[in-house]
Amino acid sequence: MPLKISGVPVLVAAMTVVFSAGCDDPAAPITPDVPRAGSSLSGADHTGTGKFQNLHDEFAHLSAVVPGGFGGLFYDAGGRPTVYLTDVSQRDVALAALLPLLRARRASLPGGRRPDLAHIQVLRGEYSFPDLARWRRAINGQAGGIPGILLTDVDEVKNRVVLGVEDPGTAEQAVADAVRRLGIPAGAVLVERSARPRMTASLQDDAVPAVSGGYWIQWTDSRFTAGVGMCSLGFNAWRNDPVYGREGVFVTASHCSRTKWAPDANNYFYQWRTSGTPIGYEIADPRPFKAGTNGETDCPSGSYCRWSDALAALWTAPRWDFGKVAHTTAPNNGSLTIHATEPVFSILDEIAYPVVGEEVQRVGRSTGWAIGTVTRTCIDGYEGNTVLLCQDDVAYDVSAAGGDSGGPVFSASLYPGWVYLRGVQWSGSGTFSSMYNVEMDLGAMETMRCDSNPERLC
């Protein structure tokens, strides 16, 4: 079967991906991904399982416990959980194993709906998830020879490995050669045209105090014509520093600073660039780690990796709202006006990572409040020799604009006015770093509002 080239453009907001399976020899045995044990960094059971780092880790676990050749899971447009099995004759026993996990999920779907667990859809998949995962890892080991590669993904909707490239025509032969050399079925790989991400810092001005997630912040930066860069505040948190103890911080995107993905203690943030009084300064923005550091296996051999595009800044201003996200008058209309009677959403808890088909929301200082649907999960992206691991992509009804980077990503809960914190927005195309990834880089943080918490989680 010839290699399949998709004619449908896919806008990819992750920086791009190239990672290897930790083995430079394409003839070496390829092993499937193995889930990691242990609870999430925030100490909460965000997924119903409480022991996985990302969705692909969970899928690897489901492949071991769900009979019938588990090939992926997503929510379709009607809100139905949709499962691929390579052997649909085992549908009933597979669903019996899967249903308790689906019931435990805190999924939020478009329109405020909850998953329709009474009508789970089972599709016949051509490939199991373990096969797709090991094929992707093998392809990533060869990705340096594929012109214009931007991403690789195990696509749970298409039951295929997807390669995003700038020009499918240029990359087609190199991909076909790699697939043939690695012994991967040609039909298991799709090549799609993708776009490079836009990191959305800007020079817009605004006079709204930066007190909760979504408000504007800015910093002095000679790279910009006016000498100042602008982004959005992600969320406020309590963070335990090994030296200074418990500290109040805010999180925004790492590229919302003079030095991306590196410490910059002289990077001060302001509410107004003319005020001269900083609201905080950067205290945590780790350098990318080298492949193999501390036994790390996700980072490609010879590369340096980060889990998120996020940094933490220490609050020096006295007024900041913990556990809250800005609430504008309406979503998807560009309004920057704060709701008169309900000015904030309160953070109920965190959710570690998303599933395709879930609804998520964001708020930023340029386009306000927007709602979208998760379209890809756990995308790996690269910028030169630096790999940004396992990012998630969202199709929003309103595209982000300059200055929206760093803003919070969240989802609705069953309680009006309360939301689940999902991560930090960093790309104009819709990509965000999940909470698990943010805390992998910055350490565990307390983010939920405890007073009046309807689930009494703290």
Contacts for 441 with CB less than 8 Å, ≥ 6 apart: 284, 286, 306, 307, 308, 310
SS3 annotation, 26-51: CCCCCCCCCCCCCCCCCCCCCCCCCC
DSSP state of 90: G
pLDDT digits (tens, 9 = 90+) for 317-370: 877 889 999 999 999 998 888 888 998 999 999 999 999 999 999 999 899 999
409 forms bridges with which residues in the sheet?
362, 423
pLDDT digits (tens, 9 = 90+) for 96-134: 999 998 988 888 888 778 888 889 999 999 999 999 999
Set out the domains of the chain in order of their start, with CATH numbers.
216-446 (2.40.10.10)
pLDDT digits (tens, 9 = 90+) for 280-332: 999 999 999 998 887 777 887 778 999 999 999 999 887 788 999 999 999 99
pLDDT at 402: 85
pLDDT at 141: 78
Nearest to 285 by CA among 69, 457, 455, 442: 442
Mean pLDDT over each residue of the chain, to the nearest integer: 82
CA 66, CA 72: separation in Å to the nearest integer? 11
Phi-psi region for residue 406, left (φ > 0), alpha (ψ -120 to 50) or beta? left
How distant is the alpha carbon of residue 403 from its chain centre? 18
Is 367 or 166 the better-scoring residue by pLDDT? 367
Residue 198: band (very low, low, confident or very high) from pLDDT cuts 50, 70, 90: low
Q: Which residue has the tokens 């290897």?
A: 20
For residues 246, 46, 352 and 23, what is the CA-based torsion angle, rounded to 10 degrees?
A: 110
Is the model's pTM score more than 0.85?
no
Is 420 or 20 the better-scoring residue by pLDDT? 420
Stretch 137-151: mean pLDDT, rounded? Answer: 81
State how far the alpha carbon of 242 is from the alpha carbons of 267, 284, 394, in Å.
21, 12, 35
Q: Are 361 and 370 in contact (CB under 8 A)?
A: yes
Residues 326-358 as b/e (b if ≥16 CB within 10 A, e otherwise) read bbbeebeeeebebeeeeebbbbbbbbbbbbbbb
Least confident of 142-156, 174-188, 255-269: 142-156
Sequence length of the chain is 458
Q: Are 131 and 71 in contact (CB under 8 A)?
A: no
- Tell me the one-letter amino acid at 148: G
Q: How do beta strands 418-425 and 408-412 pair? A: antiparallel
CA 222, CA 199: separation in Å to the nearest integer? 17
Dihedral sign computed on CA atoms, order 87, 88, 90, 95: positive
The pair of structure tokens assigned to 296 is 């790390």
Contacts for 237 with CB less than 8 Å, ≥ 6 apart: 248, 249, 250, 251, 312, 322, 445, 446, 447
